[in-house]
Structure 1
Amino acid sequence: MKSHILVVEDEGKLAQFIKLELEYEGYEVTVVTDGLGGLGTAREMTPDLILLDWMLPGISGLEICRRLRQTGDKVPIILLTAKDEVSDRVAGLDAGADDYMIKPFSIEELLARIRANLRRNQEEDSSSLQFSDLRLDRSSREVYRSNRLIELTAKEFDLLEYLISHPRQVLTRDQILERVWGYDFMGDSNIIEVYVRYLRLKLEANQEPRLIQTVRGVGYVLRE
């Protein structure tokens, strides 16, 4: 699959140049030219990486970075800026940026930084899965909603892991039974509804928005 990169940059010529270069390298690219639009697109589209200009109309790239990190979003973010003071770099990294490019920059270096950040994120993703403010760690079998640790039984964890591994994909009851309970499961087929109810109670204990949605007559889907 192509990696999807979100470019939030209000300089039209620069944004178009970056877009063309990234598409030539095989990436899928979305360009947004203002802060609020960039924040909304980042939350809706869950890109694999964000190139984020510091100075933007609406809200700054720094503020976008802070807001994404506050909701638990770990998407790699590379800040693009003309600010070259050490204090500026520190502010950007403290806000949650993973990397920092000072304008003007070489496209070769930018592409190398993108590859490095995507590679590092993919290595982390092999054990950690994230959707919205929900994070699941396969190695420790821990689940967090924002910063709240959620205690799950083994089967609750397995069900949530299957759902979060296929975000926004409608999974049928048969698919869930086969994957989570096994092909030879002979118990009550209502077991899925029971465990979905258990998960919802735990995931929504602090009145958080529902993430596990019912698709009537079909199955379930993890989406906002």
Structure 2
Amino acid sequence: MDLFDVPLDTFSSPFKLHQMKQSLKAKKVLIVEDQATMRKAIREMIYGFNMKLITEAANGSSAIAAMRKESFDIVLCDYNLGSGKNGQQILEEARFRKLLPFYAVFIMVTAEQTQSMVLGAMDNKPDEYMTKPFNAEQLLNRIKRNISRKEYLGDIEKALDSGNISLAIAHCDKKLLENNRLMHTHLLKLRAQLAIKIGDFKKAKAIYQAVLEQGELNWATLGLGIIAYLQD
């Protein structure tokens, strides 16, 4: 089972739920949503997780301004924000301007996951997509598993944030040797992406092909397509 498939009842016991809420208490959250009713609904869900440090933005300009003022642990951003920047453009600008710390979780909220949106996000992917409508339990599950992933990959993310790809690769290779069952597939995906970043297409191709020998995974097929495109 992949870490991204944590069952929704993982935190169902009162003790585990209490522990989880305590760990989330100090997290700073930014909600970017142009619809006031939806902002309120998401805010109430977040309050229910014991997270009180919440900032709201109704458009892209307000979101970027908020990220300039302080660092957020979690950003919940709607994709379609009406006029102005959309959610993907906010993500791209925030990363370009280094407004998102390496430990931040960016969740894109969408009405529908269109092919054009997904393909347009290939270079700057959010940590997670959530399709409306969703409930508090689903949102909690996505937040928790992405925080867990960020914590596990912290040294890799930190190296990437500082622009040290070689160090990120070294950390990734070390973690792959640990044979972490929950994270192994994601580490392979990340390792292939890092190989592409430095132009090591042979390494990336070998990873994708090895993954596809075990089963049909869209991201590995897409990876081979990206390599073919980059190599004309």
TM-score range, shorter chain: 0.5 to 0.7
1:184-220 Cα deviation digits (max 9, x unpaired) = xxxxxxxxxxxxxxxxxxxxxxxxxxxxxxxxxxxxx
1:32-85 Cα deviation digits (max 9, x unpaired) = 111100011123211001001111242111111111222343432110111322
Alignment check: 8 A CA contact 1:4 1:49 kept: yes
Matched, 1:16 2:16: no
Q: Which has the higher helix share?
A: 2
Q: CA deviation at 1:87?
A: 3.5
CA 126–24 in structure 1, closer or farther in 2 if over 3 Å, else same = farther
1:2-29 Cα deviation digits (max 9, x unpaired) = 1111110111111111111111211122
**Higher RCO (CA 8 Å, separation ≥ 6 residues):** 2
Q: Which has the higher strand share?
A: 1
SS in 1 for 2:85: coil
Matched, 1:47 2:47: no
CA 83–134 in structure 1, closer or farther in 2 if over 3 Å, else same = closer
How far apart in 2 are the matches of 1:134 and 1:81? 26
CA 93–42 in structure 1, closer or farther in 2 if over 3 Å, else same = farther
Choose 1 or 2 for highest CA Rg.
1
CA 127–63 in structure 1, closer or farther in 2 if over 3 Å, else same = closer
Q: CA deviation at 1:107?
A: 2.5
RMSD across aligned C-alpha pairs, in angstroms? 2.9
Alignment check: 8 A CA contact 1:93 1:99 kept: no
CA 66–127 in structure 1, closer or farther in 2 if over 3 Å, else same = closer
Which of 135, 150, 153 is residue 106 of structure 1 equivalent to? 135
**Equivalences for residues 1-224 of structure 1 within 5 A:** 2-27=26-51, 28-56=53-81, 57-72=83-98, 73=100, 74=102, 75-92=104-121, 94-125=123-154, 129=158, 135=162
Give the aligned residue type for 2:44: L
How far apart in 2 are the matches of 1:43 and 1:116? 26
Give the aligned residue type for 1:14: M
Matched length: 139
Q: CA deviation at 1:127?
A: 7.2
Alignment check: 8 A CA contact 1:128 1:136 kept: no
In terms of mean alpha carbon deviation, does 64-73 or 13-22 score higher?
A: 64-73
Q: CA deviation at 1:128?
A: 5.9
Alignment check: 8 A CA contact 1:89 1:100 kept: no
User: 4+ runs of 1 displaced by more than 6 Å?
Assistant: none
SS in 1 for 2:151: helix
TM-score (norm 2): 0.52
How far apart in 2 are the matches of 1:61 and 1:96? 11
Alignment check: 8 A CA contact 1:55 1:81 kept: yes
CA 60–109 in structure 1, closer or farther in 2 if over 3 Å, else same = same
How far apart in 2 are the matches of 1:120 and 1:4? 18
TM-score (norm 1): 0.53
